[in-house]
């Protein structure tokens, strides 16, 4: 059963009680929250995801977003995230309840799921090959990711590249795409029909909103992809879209530093990382506007593996 088939009252009842069980990519979640914005966010953004009766099933991550037990709830209401009773973050203003759930889920995956080498990067796929887009915040990574997945590329993840240690393939985790500040308007202008939820203001990342993941990406969320490229995007006003090859060795070092658990995996982290880098082409990519950038990516995907 899909989440959108749950009547809203039933969803709210489950969220306030035992929790709603849902699956995203390789992970199952049980989410509890009495906060209306969380129910709303789930309905708007997770409608295509599978839900089950929480009483029967095993869940990987038991998470909650609830008001902290303090008097502040009457003054400036706050929310806090918990992972089965553990509270890794300070409480945030109540307006940020839904982004907090998203950040908390990223935290759960990146601190627990060591069956993957987990790199801080977006991943999109076309014609069977995946492009890994690692980049610091502000580089236009999310904007480019959103633009690509609205133009025929499949969304694997907007934050966490999960490299399966056994197969070397990339495991999809197609959750909502986080858009910040100006990129919210850029994507609204680029694709007026796309669904972006209500923005939360004044977060640590500025204004944040989430874009609904494409239905096809969610439907294919168990279909792993072969790594094809590592591309470092950088947005520059007015820059023509330009791909510049970069060194594999340097790229490997960057990925290792930007992996959440490279050092946890010890020798195997090195093995998985080098096996990955051996089968990809590495580029720096400058772009100034989305349509041109997407055309370059499409050409890359259509050309097959460039020499």
Partner 1 sequence: MLPGRDLLVRTLRTPESISAFSMGDWDILVRQARAAGLLARLYHRFREHGFAAAIPDAVRWHLEAAETLANKQAVAVRWELRQIRAALGGLGAPLVALKGAAYVAADLSPAVGRLFNDIDILVPRASLPKVESALMLAGWHAAGLTDYDKRYYRRWMHEIPPLQHIERGTVIDVHHAILPDTARYHPDSAKLLDRAVAVAGMPGVYVLAPEDRILHSATHLFHDGELPHGLRDLTDLDLLLRDAAADANFWPRLAARAEELELGRPLFYALRYVRRFLDTPVPDAALAAAAASAPGHATLALMDAVFSRVLAPDHPSCADRLTRGARLAAYVRAHWLRMPPHLLLPHLFHKAFLSPAQRPPKPA
Binding positions for partner 1, rule: CB under 8 A: 28, 55-60, 62, 84-88, 111-115, 263-266, 268
Distance of closest approach, residue 267 Cβ to partner 1, in angstroms: 10
Q: How far is the CB of 263 from partner 1 (least distance, A)?
A: 7
Q: Please state the closest distance from residue 32 (CB atom) to partner 1, in A.
A: 12
Burial tier of 63 (Cβ tally within 10 Å: 0-12, 13-18, 19+): buried
Please compute Rg for the chain using Cα positions. Answer: 19
**Nearer of residues 87 and 305 to partner 1, judged by Cβ:** 87
| CA 173/CA 27 separation, integer angstroms | 8
C-beta closer to partner 1: residue 60 or 289:
60
**DSSP-derived secondary structure for 99-133:** HHHHHHHHHHHHHH-TTEEEEE-EEEEETTEEEEE
Q: Nearest approach, Cβ of 302 to partner 1 (angstroms)?
A: 36
Report yes or no: 109 and 250 within 8 Å, Cβ to Cβ.
no
Structure tokens at 249: 């060795």
CB 115 to partner 1: min, Å: 5
Q: 242 or 261, CB closer to partner 1?
A: 261
Q: Which CB, 41 or 273, lies closer to partner 1?
A: 273
Shortest separation between residue 198's beta carbon and partner 1, angstroms:
30
In the three-class reduction of DSSP (H, G, I as helix; E, B as strand; rest coil), residue 63 is classed as strand
Closest to partner 1 by CB, 202 or 268: 268
Q: Given the complex with partner 1, which of 145 and 171 has the nearer CB atom? A: 171
Instruction: Yes or no: say if 106 and 159 are a contact pair by the CB < 8 Å rule.
Output: yes
By C-beta, is 1 or 9 nearer to partner 1? 1
Give start and end residues of each alpha helix (H) in the chain: 8-16, 36-45, 97-112, 141-149, 182-190, 215-219, 248-257, 267-278, 290-302
Q: Using alpha carbons, select from 30, 14, 41 the residue that is nearest to residue 83.
A: 30
Sheet arrangement for strand 116-120: 116-120, 160-164, 170-171
Measured from the CB of residue 7, what is the shortest distance to partner 1 in angstroms? Answer: 25
């Amino acid at each position: 059963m899909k989440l959108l088939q749950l009547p809203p009252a039933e969803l709210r009842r489950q969220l306030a009680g035992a929790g709603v069980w849902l699956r995203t990519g390789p992970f199952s979640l049980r989410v509890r929250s009495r906060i209306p914005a969380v129910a709303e966010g789930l309905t708007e953004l997770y409608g295509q995801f599978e839900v089950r009766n929480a009483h029967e099933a095993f869940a990987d991550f038991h998470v909650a977003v609830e008001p902290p037990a303090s008097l502040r709830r009457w003054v400036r209401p706050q929310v806090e995230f918990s992972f089965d009773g553990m509270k890794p973050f300070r409480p945030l203003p109540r307006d940020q309840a839904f982004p907090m759930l998203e950040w908390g889920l990223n935290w759960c995956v990146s601190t627990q799921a060591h069956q993957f080498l987990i790199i801080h990067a977006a991943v999109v796929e076309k014609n069977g090959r995946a492009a890994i887009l690692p980049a610091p915040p502000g580089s236009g990574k999310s904007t480019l990711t959103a633009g690509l997945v609205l133009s025929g590329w499949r969304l694997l993840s907007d934050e966490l590249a999960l490299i399966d240690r056994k197969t070397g393939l990339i495991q999809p985790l197609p959750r909502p795409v986080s858009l910040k500040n100006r990129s919210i308007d850029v994507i609204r202008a680029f694709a007026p029909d796309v669904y972006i939820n209500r923005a939360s203001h004044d977060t640590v990342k500025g204004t944040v909103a989430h874009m609904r993941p494409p239905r096809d990406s969610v439907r294919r969320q168990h279909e792993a992809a072969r790594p094809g490229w590592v591309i470092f995007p950088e947005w520059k006003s007015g820059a023509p879209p330009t791909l510049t090859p970069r060194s594999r060795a340097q790229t490997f070092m960057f990925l290792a530093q930007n992996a959440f658990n490279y050092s946890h995996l010890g020798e195997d982290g090195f093995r998985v990382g080098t096996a990955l880098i051996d089968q990809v082409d590495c580029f720096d990519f400058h772009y100034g506007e989305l349509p041109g950038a997407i055309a370059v990516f499409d050409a890359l995907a259509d050309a097959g593996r460039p020499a």
